[in-house]
Amino acid sequence: METTLRGVGVSHGVAIGEVRHMGTAVLEPPAKQIPAEEAPREQARARQAVEAVANDLIARGNLAGGEAQAVLEAQALMAQDPELMADVERRIAVGSSAERAVYDAFASYRALLANAGEYLAGRVADLDDVRNRIVARLLGVPMPGVPDSDEPYVLIARDLAPADTALLDPSLVLGFVTEEGGPTSHSAILARALGVPAVVALQGATELTEGTVIAVDGSTGDIFVEPGKDRRAELAKAAAERKAALTASSGPGATSDGHKVPLLANVGGPADVPAAVAAGAEGVGLFRTEFLFLDDSKKAPSEEKQVEAYRQVLEAFPEGRVVVRVLDAGADKPLDFLTPVDEPNPALGVRGLRTLLAHPDVLRTQLRALATAAEGLPVYLEVMAPMVADRIDAKAFADACREAGLRAKFGAMVEIPSAALRARSILQEVEFLSLGTNDLAQYTFAADRQVGSVSRLQDPWQPALLDLVAAAAEAARAEGKSCGVCGEAASDPLLACVLTGLGVTSLSMGAASLPYVRATLAKYTLAQCERAAAAARATDTADEARRAAQAVLSGE
């Protein structure tokens, strides 16, 4: 008998197949004491295992490329954390085996992360994965992970570690469903990059029986258990219609009555550019330059290395628009040479622009590198600062850009509610705004994007979040300046129409989402988008907002 479950759809498409569960194992080693003379050997074993795991994560990242590479390199740095390694060696010195010392040291660090604020608490799943990999290597047992199967299947997991998600084979993994995670979790972002339908935050997902046939709708978040013939036909028809619309869609983004809405791509570096170009991106709306800095957390990359990476991206979009976000370090992206280690709540401390203003030499070098990279190119370069709180922040950034001789538009990201509420003031100092809806939702609702239990508050359809978007867009319109969206909200085709109706002037997203948004936007007039936006804002919940917008656009 068919039953329906509802999670959070995070990657478009429909998948129908048998359930296969991600392998799990209890990797808690026995608490046995070792003789003192064996301590040096055990310490060496621990160091070798840590390096092997770090190298494996980096190798997986090199294979995956793009955003996945940066995520996995960050995990490798986590494995090599010197304080963690020192704790492991101390535990071995007083009698623990290498595997038990790793297990206990990571448990201690895990507790610190879990209580260090919402940003760092969201990294616990990544830390657990690193621990399991090191302990498995020390115990000489296989690391549990993606199941072996010759037939395509739907993968079910409590959560998916980046190292597993990055290397999923789309020819075998039809889609995946997780019990944890949220719309902007690592799993969701990587699923979109892979083009695999995915649903997260589905309570009870791991209770689905192995071999059960389910249908996963990554657009709506619906899971149909043992779908009947009619349901399968309905989903197949919807998928065929969607595919036909995508095939017919091409060219610049616009509504059906010709209102232009440039559709841009979010990239983490040169490796992401080919997919963006192939998907018809009109430029880059968010170049996340922090991924370049994750190669070595001890020091910033040289100016020459930065110039090379920036120029590769700029050259890919001749006469197109490329919006570069300067280094966004701190909170969940710590860098040893920049980030304070003793902050009680890093998410609310020195991060983003605050970090750069505290280290002006790092900002100055990056801005000079961008200026050099753009020399002689016809590209429209725009540079923006992350985590701008007020006009003082915006002025400090604009002054730094001018002092570095940067010939580009200077902008501010709206990720803090204060910036949305006082956007007109900020626009006295900069030339454009870009809404980072992921962090804006996080700070508006005090709900970490990595925590599945608060996923309803991470939903970009929340009316309060739409109100803040409208406030920023209205301020930009009043000042005759642009206001784009570069957060994950832009990747939802229906929400893209609503954002357009709110007055947003451009939309930036992962390359895989561009055809879906282009095709959907082309179906409606600007007036329809405006009515849908008004209807969504008149509601009280995210679900109501979504249904209200859909009703307007479907003519109900």
Neighbours of 113 (CB within 10 A): 17
- Distance, in Å, from the CA atom of 330 to the CA atom of 119, rounded to the nearest integer, reads 10
- Distance, in Å, from the CA atom of 78 to the CA atom of 336, rounded to the nearest integer, reads 11
* Angle 316-495-492 from CA coordinates, rounded to 5°: 55
- 381-395 burial, b for 16+ CB within 10 Å, e for fewer? bbbbbbbbbbbebbe
Residue keyed to tokens 């628009």: 321
Structure tokens at 459: 């939903």
CA 88 to chain centre: 31
- Distance, in Å, from the CA atom of 414 to the CA atom of 61, rounded to the nearest integer, reads 30
SS3 content of the chain, % helix, strand, coil (to 5): 50, 15, 35
Secondary element (H or E) of residue 322: strand 321-325
Residue 359, C-beta contacts closer than 8 angstroms, at least 6 positions apart? 338
Active site residue 483: no
Asked if residue 78 lies in contact with residue 124, where contact means CB atoms within 8 angstroms, the answer is no
* Angle 347-352-356 from CA coordinates, rounded to 5°: 135
Which ranges constitute the DSSP H helices of 218-345?
Answer: 229-248, 273-278, 290-293, 303-315
Report CA Rg, the chain.
Answer: 24
Asked if residue 193 lies in contact with residue 12, where contact means CB atoms within 8 angstroms, the answer is no
Secondary element (H or E) of residue 504: none
Strands laid side by side in the 173-178 sheet? 3-6, 222-225, 213-217, 14-21, 153-157, 173-178, 198-200, 8-11
Neighbours of 449 (CB within 10 A): 25
- Distance, in Å, from the CA atom of 459 to the CA atom of 15, rounded to the nearest integer, reads 23
Active site residue 497: no
Q: Which one, of 548, 523, 509, lies nearest residue 11 by Cα?
A: 509
DSSP 418-461: HHHHTHHHHTTT-SEEEE-HHHHHHHHHT--TT-GGGHHHH-TT
Amino acid letter, residue 59: A
Secondary element (H or E) of residue 370: helix 360-374
Q: Which of 483, 486, 497, 529 is catalytic?
A: 486
Q: Which residues belong to the active site?
A: 186, 486
